[in-house]
Chains A and B, each alone.
Chain A
Amino acid sequence: MLRNTLTLLNRNTRLIQRPLSLSGTRYYHEKVIDHYEHPRNVGSFAKTETGVGTGLVGAPACGDVMKLQIKVDDDTGKIVDVKFKTFGCGSAIASSSFMTERVRGLTLDEAGQIKNTEIAKELCLPPVKLHCSMLAEDAIKAAIKDYRSKRTPNR
């Protein structure tokens, strides 16, 4: 699996670097590389688990797909566990990995407030990668929406 991920990353990196190569080589920020080499909270919750909200955003054709899952304590309304799986460039992986760290322990309302600008700033994302941070914001919002819709099926 790691080899596949590396192959995907290399391919995506080459595809993305092509338009930038005219103005010199670009590198991923060390924070992004850290999330790529040591991603936090990778995985999925079992389908049988309760209290889980799943957000699936992006599209393979665009080069980025993020699946972010939150496990919520029904009593406290807080996110007690988070998992993610991302197909995409290093910035997309880092954005979603960072998001999982960021929302752990938060209430759903607090988690829904996290903006893409915070992620972009924290990871020092270059202009062309700001879209990755937006996708991570979309992912957590989708997960929250999914969890809430499961709790109140009559709405």
Chain B
Amino acid sequence: MDSIIALPHTYHRIADVTLDQIMDNLEVIGDETDLAGFDLEYSQGVLTLRLGEHGTYVLNKQPPNKQIWLSSPKSGPKRYDYDIKEHKWFYHRDNHTMDELLNEELKDILGDLDVLAGLATEDLE
């Protein structure tokens, strides 16, 4: 994948839109779940999702690299680059996408979900 973002302000806009959408979707789930220890926080570009005994997920922007960084209690740290053609945040080592990983890991804890639900391609242009 060689289509990476060129401009910083484009990166910030797309990363913010992505994290905002994830936050919104997780908030809805949070309101409905009875998982002990569920907590959600998003400030200064850092999204922290606490899931009680299942551990804590952290998503943050990494502007110098134009990446989003993920820390998963299940699969560890990952760094995602944005592919402007596919409109996806992907991991360059095996090409999986950030939302694929999150949906896969979180569905066992929070039920089937799509962390990017509601995000339209136009929002990511």
Interfacial residues, chain A to chain B (CB-CB below 8 A) = 18-19, 22-23, 59, 61-62, 116-117, 120, 127-128, 130-131, 133-134
Contact = CB atoms under 8 A, between A and B. Distances in A.
A155 B109 CA distance: 48
Given A59-B64, A128-B58, A128-B60, 19 more contacts: A19-B44, A19-B60, A22-B41, A22-B43, A23-B41, A23-B48, A59-B65, A62-B62, A62-B65, A116-B76, A120-B76, A127-B48, A127-B71, A127-B73, A128-B46, A130-B76, A130-B77, A131-B71, A134-B76
24 contacts: A19-B60, A22-B41, A23-B41, A23-B48, A59-B65, A62-B62, A116-B76, A117-B76, A120-B76, A127-B55, A127-B56, A127-B57, A127-B73, A128-B58, A128-B60, A128-B71, A130-B71, A130-B76, A130-B77, A131-B69, A131-B71, A131-B77, A134-B76, A134-B77
A117 B71 CA distance: 12
Contacts of B76: 116-117, 120, 130, 134
A134 B70 CA distance: 12
Interface in B49-63: 55-58, 60, 62
B58 A18 contact: no
Nearest to B65: A62
A8 B48 CA distance: 26
B71 A62 contact: no
Q: How large is the interface on B (under 10, 10 to 19, 20 to 34, 35 or more residues)?
A: 20 to 34
Interface of B: 41, 43-46, 48, 55-58, 60, 62, 64-65, 69, 71, 73, 76-77, 79
A97 to B, nearest CB: 19
Considering residues A117, A130, A134, which has the most beta carbons from chain B within 10 angstroms of its beta carbon?
A130
Contacts of A23: 41, 48
A23 B42 CA distance: 11
A57 B77 CA distance: 16
A26 to B, nearest CB: 12
Contact of B64 (A19, A62, A130, A134): A62
A116 B71 CA distance: 12
Contacts of B57: 127
Contacts of A131: 69, 71, 77, 79
A38 B74 CA distance: 31
What 8 A-B pairs are tightest by C-beta distance, nearest first?
A61-B64, A130-B77, A19-B46, A127-B71, A131-B77, A134-B77, A130-B71, A127-B58
